[in-house]
């Protein structure tokens, strides 16, 4: 399987990041699943997209020797030992493994994100992004996407009770920054995150831990 391990703990990061760009057909994914020997029973999933995402995530877990998942009542996946988070976007699936709680999100910039800016950005973030849009709309669109991914990754870190616009403030950054600071204050207390940021081709990847 053409999975790429793009970051590992021995590279000064406390996690392993694996990504897989899906070029396989649905039939090929089903065949790989049948051949991998997993004891997990595949659920019935009506959505073709969701079915493909489920197969891709489980096959990537198999590639990374990740055991069968269980889930907390809030839907957060857990392992017998260690932590993981999974994200999908288009034909890309990403998985991160760590010893402590972790969240990951993958997004590709699209114009649609401009229409929901007020739903996930604070007034200060909105002002900063609107000013950036006047100078460079393309770069601002990337910034919006990175902010969304950062907040989604933090939501996955906690698993519940996170209001993006009210609870999380992303410090100013540039699209080329590998580390991004986020300040959280909400139902889980207060915490400053030093997020890890990658650009993989057209996708933005953000990890919170």
pLDDT of residue 63: 87
Task: Output the pLDDT for position 1.
Answer: 43
Mean pLDDT (the chain, rounded):
91
22 and 93: one domain? yes
Residue 32, pLDDT > 80, answer yes
- At 184, the pLDDT band (50, 70, 90 cuts) reads very high
Burial class (CB in 10 A: 0-12, 13-18, 19+), 79: middle
Task: Specify whether 24 is located in the same domain as 79.
Answer: yes
Whole-number pLDDT of residue 6? 56
Residue 195 predicted with pLDDT over 60: yes
- Which of residues 100, 118, 145 is at a domain's end? 100
What is the extent of the structural domain holding 11?
3-100
Rounded mean pLDDT, 76-94: 91
**Maximum CA extent, the chain:** 54
Domain stop point among 43, 69, 100: 100
147 shares a domain with 73: no
- The percentage of the chain sitting over the pLDDT mark of 70, rounded to a whole number, equals 95
- pLDDT value at residue 70: 85
Chain segment 145-160, per-residue pLDDT in tens: 999 999 999 999 999 9
Pairing of strands 3-7, 189-200: unpaired
Would you say residue 8 has pLDDT above 70?
Answer: no
- Last residue of one domain, picked from the residues 61, 83, 100: 100
CB-count burial class (<10 Å; 0-12, 13-18, 19+) for 181: middle
pTM of the predicted structure, to 2 decimals: 0.93
Q: Determine the 3-state secondary structure of 58 from DSSP.
A: helix
The domain tally of the chain equals 2
| Cα 67 from Cα 134, distance rounded (Å) | 48
CATH code, 165: 3.90.470
For residues 148 and 167, membership in a common domain is answered with yes
Residue 25 has pLDDT above 70, yes or no: yes
Q: Are residues 17 and 43 in the same domain?
A: yes
Distance CA 130, CA 134 (A): 7
Q: Hey, is 69 helix, strand or coil?
A: coil
Whether residue 196 is found in the same domain as residue 118: yes
Rounded CA-CA distance 130/117 in Å is 10
């Amino acid at each position: 399987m053409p999975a790429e391990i793009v970051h590992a703990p021995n590279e000064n990061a406390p996690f392993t990041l694996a990504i897989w760009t899906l070029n396989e057909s649905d039939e090929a994914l089903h065949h790989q699943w049948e051949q991998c020997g997993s004891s997990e029973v595949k659920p019935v999933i009506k959505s073709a997209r969701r079915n493909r995402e489920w197969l891709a995530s489980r096959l990537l877990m198999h590639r990374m020797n990740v055991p069968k998942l269980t889930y907390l009542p809030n839907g957060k996946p857990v392992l017998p030992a260690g932590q993981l988070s999974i994200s999908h976007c288009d034909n890309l699936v990403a998985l991160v493994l760590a010893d402590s709680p972790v969240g990951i999100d993958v997004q590709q910039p699209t114009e649609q994100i401009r229409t929901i800016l007020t739903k996930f950005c604070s007034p200060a973030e909105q002002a900063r992004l609107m000013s950036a849009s006047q100078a460079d709309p393309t770069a601002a669109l990337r910034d919006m996407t990175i902010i969304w991914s950062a907040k989604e990754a933090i939501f996955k870190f906690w698993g519940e009770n996170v209001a993006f616009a009210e609870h999380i403030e992303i410090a100013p950054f540039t699209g080329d920054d590998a580390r991004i600071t986020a300040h959280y204050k909400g139902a889980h207390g207060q915490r400053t995150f030093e997020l890890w940021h990658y650009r993989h081709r057209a996708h933005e990847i953000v990890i919170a831990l």
